[in-house]
Chain A
């Protein structure tokens, strides 16, 4: 099973700042089949990024994904108050596993 480790556990930033979230895989993710989801409190997750770097429909361009192999990054270029959420990475190249999540707090 591919284990995904996300860091940091919590990120506390001010509006307008840049957020960089990391997702590291225990082995190479086939085909860069890596997705990112946003989950706000009390809500279901929402797809942000798939294929490591493709934005899902309707996702603002301040969200971007990058990386390949075992190291992936989600960047939020200019934080807005509504970006307060937990962000999960998920690999789907070998079964499906999620990272443990990164909580983004807005100061």
Chain B
């Protein structure tokens, strides 16, 4: 069974940093592209970043230059380093797996809440 478990969320001040983690199990992690998708309170879904199995990386304009996605294939983990955080980064952050060879999301974690507030 595919499992994605996020951790690392919490309360952080504007301008601060936070690192999110996603522990993956139940599938061959190295062969899948992985993503971060966020959802602000009461709002819709926003894709923010992807990393392929070959470590090609993509970002949404809203986070480019501030967030860094990475992966540890040996440890079956996905990460999101978030710097220069702003109030509008407040959201639940989901780890999501791309379907094999495709770009829709076939598995999701339960999410971790990031709150940016002074």
Contact = CB atoms under 8 A, between A and B. Distances in A.
Q: Is B one of A's binding partners?
A: yes
B108 to A, nearest CB: 4
Interface of B: 35, 44-47, 50, 58, 60, 94, 99, 102-111
A26 to B, nearest CB: 16
B45 A98 contact: yes
B58 A98 contact: no
Contacts of B99: 50
A57 to B, nearest CB: 8
Nearest to B99: A50
Nearest first, the 10 closest Cβ-Cβ pairs linking A and B are A92-B103, A35-B104, A44-B108, A96-B47, A98-B45, A50-B104, A100-B44, A101-B44, A92-B104, A47-B106
A34 to B, nearest CB: 9
Contacts of A96: 35, 47, 50, 103
Given A37-B105, A96-B103, A97-B47, 16 more contacts: A35-B104, A43-B110, A44-B108, A44-B110, A46-B108, A47-B107, A56-B106, A88-B45, A90-B45, A90-B47, A92-B103, A95-B47, A96-B47, A99-B44, A100-B44, A101-B45
A67 interface: no
A40 B108 CA distance: 13
